[in-house]
Amino acid sequence: MSDAIRPLIAGNWKMNGLKSSTGEFEAMLGGAGALSGKADLLVCPPATLVAAFAGMARDGMVAVGAQDCHPKPSGAHTGDLAAEMFRDLGATAIIVGHSERRADHGESDALVRQKAEAAWRAGLTAIVCIGETRQQRDSGKTLDICKTQLAGSLPDGATSTNLVVAYEPVWAIGTGLTPTTGDVEEVHRFIRGVLTDRFKEEGDRIRILYGGSVKPSNAAELMGVANVNGALVGGASLKAADFLAIAAGCP
């Protein structure tokens, strides 16, 4: 990991959490101070909890984000939520293009790009997810898939403040499986090259997160890989102790 890039540990709660979950978030806030020199912390709860969490996190020790947004700022889109709405609630970032959105809702690279642009329009950081399936990896297409998704999903004008890229091999999400550190290093090095080729100096500063069964027991090893600038954490982010332990694993 480059010493010049401050790591980010982002928790994606997915479709988990009720009002009673505020206790876990409160515990995260309580433990964040001890990690202030190690990493930036971000929690992306379901939309129903964004306002409550943002209200609790006024000291800025843990930022709050959202998990998705509609490309447009308003309109006749029943059930959808705009990036501006999340900004209004106190969110600072939005995850877009997660593999579960791509698979469950058929989201294309073009749509993910529009959602990233929507996050920027609202003044929020876009966390753009990419990654290959098991079949694609077994076919030797991992880098080709990542290249295509990066080209189609990232808008022009990316900077180290408005964009984070999260590499999540689909086959590792929630399965307990993780690639070898060598595999992770290869893909993150490739992503870094794509970012610097396209965005020049900014591309060398954009954070690249690893996601996919990140837990306290493997966090330090993963965070020590070159060009891994933090983690996008799923299930382990639901418990304050696990989430804080992962952050503590940053070099």
CA distance 77 to 17: 25
Residue 235 DSSP label: G
Which of the residues 84, 132, 168, 188 is marked catalytic?
168
Residue 50 has phi, psi (to 5 degrees) of: -60, -45
Q: Where are the beta strands (DSSP E) in the chain?
A: 8-12, 40-44, 63-66, 93-96, 125-130, 163-167, 207-211, 230-233
Which of the residues 84, 98, 132, 188 is marked catalytic?
98
Residue 24 appears among annotated catalytic residues: no
CA distance 85 to 17: 20
Distances in whole angstroms, Cα of residue 141 to Cα of each of 27, 98, 130, 146: 41, 19, 13, 9
Q: ∠ CA(105), CA(110), CA(112), 5° rounding?
A: 55
Residue 105 appears among annotated catalytic residues: no
Contacts of 124 (CB under 8 A, 6+ apart): 65, 83, 86, 87, 91, 92, 93, 94
Report the catalytic residues: 98, 168
